[in-house]
Amino acid sequence: MSGRKVTIMGGGNTAFSVAARLSHIGNEICILEHPDFAESVEQISRTGRINLEGVMENGPAAVSLVTLDASEALAFSDLLLLIVPAYAHRPFAEFTGPYLTSDHTVVVMPGTLGSLEFSALAAEFGVSDITVAEVDTAPYVCRKTSGESAIIWGEVSSLGLGVFPSVRTSRVVSDLKPLFPGVSPYEDALQCGLSSMNPVVHPAGVLMNAGRVEYSRGEFYFYEEGVSESVAKVIEAVDEERMTVGRELGYELTPVGKAFHEAGFGPRGTLWEAINGSHMLTRLKAPGNLESRWLTEDIPYGIAAWSKLGTQYGIQTPVIDAFVGIGSIVMGIDAWAEGRGPKQLGLEGMTKKELREYLSTGK
């Protein structure tokens, strides 16, 4: 029990689950939602609680403050957990930017390089010394079940953390350990962003099941049925290109199958073996349509961002590029033009040496 104040930004699946769980273990919680999505917190703003079910603590959890006022929420706590899809990172940075100070620590959950974009945006509001971190996955396998309830099916045993600038890593780890005991630091925020597993699995897995998603409207178990041995092989080819980008930038990234095992999702083995033996993942159904964030988030803000970063340093990613192209057709958008790349991340034109210095010191 940490007994501290925490502001959670967002009102979706993981935001509700994190808020309820942290409240249950003795923390005082504020939830800040963007005014454009006020309806997502309408019920809990009246009741002041979230009912939690599942494998963690159960029952009603108090929420001290539910607000659409960024100044109020940022005054509530200096620890801000940003728990929204990647395409909402920029709107939340612009929403909170006028009230950010160097005393705040923002943790993007999960990030997929969102910490670097958030830091670059904060600088536009004159906050150039803010601490921004990100994790490589959501801390729980969970869902929001109503306007005032959530369920947690499982907890991630190893929650990877990258901090920008990385010289502040030990402090952020100390802040988060009482809240998420499994937190484990990466070398820096870029290594963490390249270690996110959703973009590895979701675009290839969904696009190779596109007909089935549309026909059944998602009424099948995505990991158990959709990620067959053949689909898993394709996902592993995407993963190999991700690891190549990391290797060229000086990181030894963990293969996706091993990462799933180390996170506690399933047994040791290949990706298919880890998924097939996972009690948590095999309970998750596929998205109900192809407008899901499994494509709209994980392509432009995930694999496309990795590819653009690789291109800056002469690294080719043909399998990833193929899925970005096919995904663009399916989604009806240009996934290369959407999302983020080196420019949005504040990394454009940096040599590898300059990149490592920037990630370490923020300068």
Same domain, 255 and 152: no
Same domain, 120 and 65: yes
Same domain, 142 and 206: no
* Per-residue pLDDT, 277: 84
Average pLDDT over every residue of 175-179: 96
What are 304's two structure tokens?
Answer: 């496309």
Judge whether residue 1 has pLDDT over 60.
no
Same domain, 163 and 287: no
Tally of structural domains, the chain: 2
Q: How far apart are CA 363 and CA 126, in angstroms?
A: 15
Q: What is the mean pLDDT of the chain?
A: 95
Confidence of residue 269 (pLDDT cuts 50, 70, 90): confident
Same domain, 159 and 233: no
Judge whether residue 183 has pLDDT over 60.
yes
The residues near 337 (Cβ < 8 Å, ≥ 6 apart) are none
> Per-residue pLDDT tens for 103-156?
999 999 999 999 999 999 999 999 989 999 999 999 998 999 999 999 999 998
> Per-residue pLDDT tens for 202-245?
999 999 999 999 999 999 999 999 999 999 999 999 999 999 99
Average pLDDT over every residue of 50-77: 97
Q: How far apart are CA 210 and CA 92, in angstroms?
A: 31
Same domain, 130 and 164: yes
**Any idea of the CA torsion for 184, 190, 195, 198, to the nearest 10 degrees?**
120
Same domain, 39 and 179: yes
Burial class (CB in 10 A: 0-12, 13-18, 19+), 255: middle
* Per-residue pLDDT, 235: 97
Looking at per-residue pLDDT, the higher value among 190 and 281 belongs to 190
Q: Which of 165, 167, 164, 160 is nearest to 186 (CA)?
A: 160
* Per-residue pLDDT, 245: 98
What are 230's two structure tokens?
Answer: 């053949």
* Per-residue pLDDT, 266: 83
Judge contact between 144 and 115, C-beta under 8 A.
Answer: no
CATH number at residue 67: 3.40.50.720
Judge whether residue 14 has pLDDT over 70.
yes
Q: Which helix (H) or strand (E) holds 356?
A: helix 352-361
Instruction: Supply the range of the domain harboring residue 175.
Output: 5-193
DSSP E strand stretches across 71-123: 79-82, 105-108
Q: Which of 110, 209, 100, 124 is nearest to 160 (CA)?
A: 110
* Per-residue pLDDT, 74: 98
> Per-residue pLDDT tens for 284-318?
899 999 999 999 999 999 999 999 999 999 999 99
Confidence of residue 101 (pLDDT cuts 50, 70, 90): very high
Peptide bond into 85 cis (omega under 30): no
Last residue of a domain, one of 159, 193, 227: 193
* Per-residue pLDDT, 333: 96
* Per-residue pLDDT, 263: 81
Average pLDDT over every residue of 4-8: 97
Confidence of residue 2 (pLDDT cuts 50, 70, 90): low
* Per-residue pLDDT, 278: 83
Judge whether residue 280 has pLDDT over 80.
no
Same domain, 9 and 145: yes
Judge whether residue 87 has pLDDT over 70.
yes
Distances in Å between the Cα of 309 and the Cα atoms of 55, 108, 135, 340, 344 are 39, 20, 19, 10, 11
Q: Which helix (H) or strand (E) holds 3?
A: none
Same domain, 90 and 115: yes
